[in-house]
């Protein structure tokens, strides 16, 4: 199943070859417009001059108004913020596949703050838990807000083709590999997210609290308590992955926390870990645009973890 939501048949337009990633954040919107060659071949060294990057501050969380101020063409991939989407884990309903989405809406209504009448949802399968219990992760978002965002994004030469969450956008940046990798990732002024990805499948995701202002910390502050607290959360997540999901231990930790002290952050975290800790590498031409990583990852949906997905409903 896919967390990615295809938005089809809204408008029919001609499109450029550009792939546009639009990351909706708590305080701003980050947009990147990339040539298709770069995101389908991350090792390519296409010069950054072929791409554009823009960031715009928000006024009262008015995403629709802010999006209309950008200049772009191409296929658009939107990343919802943590405030716009909610993810809950439940037992997989014992109903036919064609009826599962309808059943999920009422099964999760008491677990999320979005009304069933204003809910659009999708789900992706979770790993089998100890004891053979089959779980799924249900992703919910308010359809009225999505409609406004899609309408604002669609214009001559541009069209929304996918909507995803920040978890999948970041996970798309990891190369496919057989061993499990834990990714510590963050967007500017957002909370840190922990992901565990194995064989191009998202096994674990967790949104942490209390780390939003980490970019403002000095090296002394990071070394005093912040790194220790984060290392503890990483250990708890790793233990769950190994013991509850019955998986082999993670083999590496990757860091994508765009801040001036990112290298120091990774080195200090390595001192608290028994596995290698390194910075996540972005496509060569875009290493300096690490604060746009979620937007970049959203454009890579068809080459990475999104392969576990399915086309679903239209938003209209």
**Domain of residue 277, CATH code:** 3.30.420.40
Q: Are 37 and 308 in contact (CB under 8 A)?
A: no
Do residues 60 and 165 both lie within one domain? yes
What pLDDT does 312 receive?
27
Region 18-29 average pLDDT: 93
What pLDDT does 26 receive?
87
Region 150-171 average pLDDT: 93
Does residue 17 surpass a pLDDT of 90? no
Helices 262-271 and 227-243, axial angle in degrees (round to 10): 60
Do residues 73 and 135 both lie within one domain? yes
Q: Read off the pTM.
A: 0.86
Do residues 53 and 159 both lie within one domain? yes
What pLDDT does 42 receive?
52
Lowest mean pLDDT among 29-43, 65-79, 224-238: 29-43
Q: How many domains does the chain have?
A: 2
Do residues 223 and 212 both lie within one domain? yes
Do residues 169 and 224 both lie within one domain? no
What pLDDT does 101 receive?
83
Do residues 199 and 266 both lie within one domain? yes
Do residues 160 and 194 both lie within one domain? no
Do residues 96 and 156 both lie within one domain? yes
Does residue 46 surpass a pLDDT of 60? no
What pLDDT does 95 receive?
86
- The rounded percent of the chain whose pLDDT value lies above 90 is 53
Do residues 129 and 15 both lie within one domain? yes
Region 87-103 average pLDDT: 86
Do residues 30 and 141 both lie within one domain? yes
CATH number of the domain within which 82 lies: 3.30.420.380
Tell me what the pLDDT averaged over the chain comes to: 84
Region 39-58 average pLDDT: 70
Its domain, for residue 104, covers 1-173+283-316
Do residues 62 and 167 both lie within one domain? yes
The DSSP secondary structure of the chain, one letter per residue, reads --S-EE--SS------SEEEEEEE-SSEEEEEEEEHHHHH-TT----GGG-EEEEEE-STT-HHHHHTT----EEEEEEE-TTT-EEEEEEPPSS-GGGHHHHHHHHSTTTSSS-GGGEEEEEEEPPPPTTS--EEEEEEEEHHHHHHHHHHH-BTTEEEEEEEEHHHHHHTTSPP-SS-EEEEE--TTS--EEEEEETTEEEEEEE-SS-TTGGG--HHHIIIIIHHHHHHHHHHHHHHHHHTS--PPP-EEEEE--STTHHHHHHHHHHT-SS-EEEPPPPGGGGGGGGGHHHHHHTTGGGSGGGG--------
pLDDT in tens, 78-87: 999 888 899 9
What pLDDT does 40 receive?
55
Do residues 67 and 213 both lie within one domain? no
């Amino acid at each position: 199943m896919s967390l990615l939501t295809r938005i089809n048949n809204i408008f029919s337009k001609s499109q450029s070859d550009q792939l546009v990633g639009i990351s909706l954040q708590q305080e701003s919107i980050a947009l990147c417009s990339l040539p298709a060659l770069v995101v389908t071949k991350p090792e390519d060294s296409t010069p950054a001059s072929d791409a554009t990057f823009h960031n715009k501050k928000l006024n009262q969380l008015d995403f629709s108004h802010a999006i209309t101020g950008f200049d772009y063409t191409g296929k658009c991939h939107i990343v919802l913020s943590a405030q716009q989407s909610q993810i809950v884990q439940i037992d997989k309903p014992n109903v036919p596949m064609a009826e599962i989405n309808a059943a999920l809406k009422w099964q999760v209504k008491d677990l999320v703050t979005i009304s069933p009448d204003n809910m659009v949802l999708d789900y992706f399968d979770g790993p089998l838990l100890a004891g053979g219990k089959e779980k799924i992760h249900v992703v919910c978002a308010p359809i009225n807000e999505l409609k406004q965002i899609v309408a604002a994004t669609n214009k001559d030469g541009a069209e929304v083709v996918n909507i995803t969450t920040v978890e999948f956008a970041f996970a798309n940046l990891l190369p496919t590999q057989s061993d499990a990798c834990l990714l510590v990732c963050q967007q500017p002024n957002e909370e840190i997210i922990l992901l565990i990805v194995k064989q191009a499948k998202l096994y674990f995701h967790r949104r942490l609290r209390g780390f939003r202002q980490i970019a403002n910390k000095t090296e002394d502050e990071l070394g005093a308590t912040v790194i220790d607290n984060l290392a503890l959360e990483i250990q708890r997540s790793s233990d769950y992955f190994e013991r509850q999901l019955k998986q082999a231990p993670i083999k590496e930790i990757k860091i994508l926390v765009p801040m001036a002290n990112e290298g120091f952050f990774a080195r200090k975290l390595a001192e608290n870990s028994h596995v290698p800790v390194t910075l996540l590498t972005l496509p060569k031409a875009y290493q300096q645009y690490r604060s746009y990583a979620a937007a970049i990852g959203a454009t890579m949906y068809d080459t990475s973890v999104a392969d576990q997905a399915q086309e679903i409903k239209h938003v209209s």
